[in-house]
Amino acid sequence: MRPRALTRGSLAVFYGVAGVFHLAMPAPFLTIMPGFVPAPELVVQLTGAAELAGAAALLQGWSPGLRRAGGWGLAAYALCVWPANINHMIMDLARADGGLGLVYHIPRMLAQPVLIWAAMWAGGVTDWPWRRR
């Protein structure tokens, strides 16, 4: 299997599972939602729907434009949920027991730009750092 197809499939599974969890079990996501986000329940539902739509767009094979839109959408999604991940890290590390700790949160923070790039690469939005000739 080609690397781009493997990345596409992996992201589709990752975001598909995450989308189902957002819709079926929203409570954990609501607890990390920053206070400035209006209508948090609706936002969690919409993020679940966005993850499922992005996963489906990456998997479909009949429209390169739809695949690119899925890549852009999942990249934007990953950027937009970063504040919730930061909020989760701050809240978790402030716990008396230190929560999940930096061993969990630092890789999670570093993974966010990788997820953004991977969505764009898998969707065919970019070829960086491997240029096609």
**9-52, pLDDT tens digit by residue?**
999 999 999 999 999 999 999 998 888 999 999 999 999 999 99
Instruction: Evaluate whether residue 70 is within a structural domain.
Output: yes
| pLDDT higher than threshold 70 for residue 133 | no
pLDDT value at residue 128: 87
Instruction: Evaluate whether residue 88 is within a structural domain.
Output: yes
pLDDT value at residue 132: 64
Instruction: Evaluate whether residue 69 is within a structural domain.
Output: yes
When divided into structural domains, the chain yields a total of: 1
Torsion of CA 35, 85, 78, 48, to 10 degrees: -70
Torsion of CA 132, 65, 110, 97, to 10 degrees: -160
| pLDDT higher than threshold 80 for residue 101 | yes
Instruction: Evaluate whether residue 127 is within a structural domain.
Output: no
pLDDT > 90: what percent of the chain?
85
Specify whether the CB–CB gap between 118 and 58 falls below 8 A: no
Instruction: Evaluate whether residue 130 is within a structural domain.
Output: no
pLDDT > 70: what percent of the chain?
98
Instruction: Evaluate whether residue 129 is within a structural domain.
Output: no
Instruction: Please choose, from the candidates 1, 45, 2, the residue with its C-alpha nearest in 3D space to the C-alpha of residue 27.
Output: 45
pLDDT value at residue 117: 97
Range of 64's domain?
3-122
Dihedral pair phi/psi, residue 26, rounded to 5°: -75, -15
